[in-house]
Structure 1
Amino acid sequence: MKSRTLIGLLAAALLPLPAAAQEVVLKVSHFLPPSSLAQTQFMQPWCDKIEAESRGRMKCQIYPSMQLGGTPPQLLNQVRDGVADIVWTLPGYTPGRFPVSEVFELPFFTTTAEASSRALWDFSQAHAAKEFAGTKPIAIWVNGPNVLHLRSKQVKTLDELNGLKVRAPSRLGNKMLAALGATPVGMPVPQMAESLSKGVIEGALVPWEVVPATKTQELTRYHAEFKGPKAMTVATMVFLMNAKKYESLPDDLKKVIDDNSGAETSAWVATQFIKADVIGREATVANNNTIYAIEGAELARWEAATRPVVQGWIEELSATGVDGKAMHDAAAALVARYSKN
């Protein structure tokens, strides 16, 4: 009898612990260095929060700088395929895969990052859910307004932009630059610094937030901000979890993820990026660079020049069988609604 009891105890010891007792380590991947404000101001605090709320049973292992392999445009596939459990990436790095939700990247479309991010979450849930198949969206947001960072030439008028090679964050950003007379050059942020240093490009459209991580303040001298009620351009961003990984969690850990996902989380992430914008701008001021504004009548010229991009997007989407005008108007209505709050 004793020997049977001992065998039973040994067999029980070899059984796996119940799922609720196991520690879950989530692999979180992104494309910037660990010192980037995106990691320190957003991803690490989010990871700390889910660890605290799960009482240490769910943690993150962050892999910056594409340490899990591949290139930034491959992050979306990596989270869908389970190479990473969670990724931060830009839909603009995979043109054509987010044809509906990219409406928020149209020129002069968004207002504040927080209001526009709430609008983007609601819009994506209602109209673009299939674009996120295979993933569980944790947050979907827009970054701060893009600034035109220039190596050696100030651009104060639309005419002075003509022909300049400028990096854009997305497909629609490229179309916008072309409409403005520039020569658009599409590339992920990690390639931007080298391209600026070698003179492959003469300028770049990025928010202030990425400046410290990419040393943009050292590679450029002039910085044009666009001072109007709407951002000239922004990039949509996503923080996505592998759907199967989420479904594998016990219910109480799913709840922790759910409690840290959605419209409120998207708005919170957007505010962290705006705080990071302040830090990036301050670094540029400290480097004694020249920051100036394009506003008033001159800004109106830029906006007028980009209107064909908006109409072109509506027509492109409509050609796929989706009512482009209806999608544009629905997104614009949500931006307007949240901007009033």
Structure 2
Amino acid sequence: MLLAGAAGLGAVLASGSASWAQDITLRLHQFLPPQANVPQFVIDPWIKKVEEAAGGKLKIEHFPAMQLGGKPPELIDQVIDGAVDIAWTVNGFTPGRFPRPEVFELPFMMTNAEATSRAYWELFDKEMKDTDYENLHVLGAWVHGPGVLHSNRPIETMDDMANVKFRTPSRMIGFLLEELNAAPIGMPITAIPEALSKGVIDGAVVPWEVTTALKIPELVKNHTEFAEGNAFYTVTFTLAMNKAKYESLPDDVKKAIDDNSGMEFSAMAGRIQASYDAPAREKAIEMGNNIITISPEETQKWREAAQPVYDRWAADMEAKGIDGQALIDEAEALIAKYTEEQKAQSNDAADEQEGAEAAPTEESGMSETPSDGEATEAAQ
């Protein structure tokens, strides 16, 4: 009886231990509402994949729209201090806090979101992990699609920028707007609609992705883009975890997180975010708005006008003991590398598609698996 009792007690303890092992809960905090693109199509799917990979041992609770309190600029300290376990944030919320990632926010640095996100992750792994992010365990680092000029007057040349009041998304673009004789005004992205309607600003610099939700095409009718492969700007994002919390996790739970984080996740996040640019642009066209595309020749003039911003940033980095020019050179080389790889993959995919269309097929049993981008569009 004693042995039976001991066995029963052991079973209870073992059961309790197993239950405890499955009771790991992490809290993820971020600034956008749950229906926004990134929470809905990047963060929530990531949570699901990690939880599934952890085999039921992990629960990640998602708190959108600053539900746990504080303001967006406080997110990074919340995760460093352990007030939350994971945070998704914009590096620009805390200007100067993360100097090295700013290299990807320099004007006309990025080509497209996926290639630039890959470059960002590689340079993070090489130059930033043990410097800017030494107090964090970074899960993803990516950028959004090309930034566009949206204004109440047509912007066709640099001269048209004079005295135009633009909401600026980052200090890098603030520098450029100053160089172009425009008037940069900083404000949260959510303040743009009211600022436009009241004439506080004449325009905003944001990617197409967010324009529909912000009603920008209803408030201004002119949208200026640049020649393909030339982005006026982008913004860097970070999904990061409290370092001590990550290190305290069991190895198998760490693996579940690691296997779903890193470069491929970052590239996917950038690609998904940019996939919402085209539908938003199409809505502006349907409303009869004026889409201006700067020619390659004119775009080159804008790029040349941006050079003082590069010089200013490199000098700022030098004052911090950072080789800014080396970061610029590395970022440009990595973006070029991943852009070429992406083009090659697209060409290969096109060739395969042509071959598949030319080859005879049987109707039965044939199926087509959509790419991540197509799946995202279907999810809309």
TM-score normalised by structure 1 residue count: 0.92
Q: Equivalents in 1 of 2:176, 2:110: separation in Å?
A: 15
Superposition deviation, residue 15 in structure 1 = 8.9
* Post-superposition CA distance 1:140-164 (Å, at most 9, x none): 11110001112x2222221111111
> In 2 relative to 1, CA 227–184 (structure 1 residues): closer, same or farther, beyond 3 Å?
same
The percent of aligned pairs where both chains have the same amino acid is 42
Q: Distance in 1 between matches of 2:305 and 2:73?
A: 29
Verify the 8 A CA contact 1:119 1:331 in the aligned structure 2. yes
How far apart are the structure 2 equivalents of 1:140 and 1:93? 15
Question: Quick check: 1:20–1:250 contact (8 Å CA) kept in 2?
Answer: no
Query: Contact 1:19–1:249 (CA<8 Å) still a contact in 2?
Result: no
Using the TM superposition, name which of 271-280 and 191-200 deviates more. 191-200
* Residues 1:221 and 1:104: Cα distance change in structure 2 (over 3 Å): same
1:14-40, CA deviations, whole angstroms, 9 ceiling, x for partnerless residues? 995258732333322222222111111
Query: Number of residue pairs matched?
Result: 340
The answer to whether the 8 Å contact 2:121/2:262 transfers is: yes
Q: 1:288 to 1:318 in 2, by over 3 A?
A: same
> What does residue 142 of structure 1 align with?
143
What is the aligned partner in structure 1 of residue 280 from structure 2?
280
Distance 1:75 1:279, change over 3 A: farther
Separation in 2, partners of 1:144, 1:279: 13
Q: How far did 1:212 drift?
A: 3.2
Q: CA separation of 1:136/1:68 partners in 2, compared to 1, >3 Å: closer, same or farther?
A: same
1:73 corresponds in structure 2 to 73
What is the Cα deviation at residue 199 of structure 1? 2.1
Extract unaligned runs of 5+ from structure 2: 342-380
Aligned mates of 1:23, 1:306 — CA distance in 2:
52
Mapped contact 2:118–2:338 kept (Cα < 8 A):
yes
Match of 1:303 in 2: 303
Partner residue, 2:48: 48
Alignment partner, residue 126 of structure 1 = 126
Residue 194 (structure 1) aligned with residue 194 (structure 2): yes
Q: Distance in 2 between matches of 1:27 and 1:212?
A: 30
List per-residue Cα deviations over 1:208-262 (Å, max 9, x = no partner).
1122333333333221111243312111111111112212221111001100111
Query: Residue 13 of structure 1: CA displacement?
Result: 4.7
Aligned counterpart, 2:363: none
- Change in CA separation of 1:132 and 1:297 when aligned onto 2, cut-off 3 Å: same
CA distance in 1, matches of 2:113, 2:252: 31
Alignment of 1:287-298 (within 5 A): 287-298=287-298
What does 1:173-184 align with in structure 2 at a 5 Å threshold? Answer: 173-184=173-184
Query: In angstroms, what is the RMSD of aligned CA positions?
Result: 2.4
Q: CA deviation at 1:88?
A: 1.5
Report whether the alignment pairs 1:218 with 2:218: yes
SS in 2 for 1:110: coil
In the aligned structure 1, how far is the partner of 2:311 from the partner of 2:319? 12
In structure 1, the partner of 2:108 is 108
AA aligned opposite 2:246: Y
- Report if aligned partners of 1:117, 1:140 keep a CA contact under 8 Å in 2: yes
Matches within 5 A, 1:244-323: 244-323=244-323
Q: Note if contact 1:140-1:236 (Cα within 8 Å) is conserved in structure 2.
A: yes
Q: Once the 2 structures are TM-superposed, how far is the Cα of residue 2 of structure 1 from its aligned partner?
A: 5.0
Measure, in 2, the Cα distance between the counterparts of 1:65 and 1:283.
26
* C-alpha deviation, 1:207, in angstroms: 0.7
Cα displacement (A) at 1:51: 2.0
2:350 corresponds in structure 1 to: none
The equivalent of 2:370 in structure 1 is none
Range that drifts further, 132-141 or 21-30: 21-30
Distance 1:196 1:127, change over 3 A: same
| Paired AA for residue 48 in structure 2 | D
CA drift of 1:307 comes to 0.8
- Seen in structure 2, the aligned counterparts of structure 1 residues 219 and 6 have a Cα distance that, compared at 3 Å, is farther
Are 2:51 and 2:256, in contact at CA under 8 Å, matched by a contact in 1? Answer: no
Work out the CA distance in 2 between the residues paired with 1:135 and 1:191: 30
**Cα offsets for 1:178-227 (capped at 9, x unmatched):** 11111111223223233223222111111111223333333332211112
Q: Which structure has the larger Rg over C-alpha atoms? A: 2
Do the aligned residues in 1 keep the contact of 2:22 with 2:56 (CA within 8 Å)?
no
Give me the whole-angstrom Cα distance separating, in 1, the residues matched to 2:272 and 2:262. Answer: 15
Summarize the Cα distance change of 1:73–1:193 in structure 2 as closer, same or farther, 3 Å threshold: farther
Name the CA distance, whole Å, in 2 between partners of 1:71 and 1:283: 31
User: The residue matched to 2:132 in structure 1 has which SS?
Assistant: helix
* Cα distance in 2 between the residues matched to 1:197 and 1:59: 43
CA shift digits 1:270-315 (9 cap, x unpaired): 1111112223223333433322212233222222211100111111
Is contact 2:143-2:237 (8 Å) kept? Answer: yes
Matched, 1:164 2:150: no
Task: Extract unaligned runs of 5+ from structure 1.
Answer: none
Q: Is the 8 A contact 1:19 1:250 kept in 2?
A: no
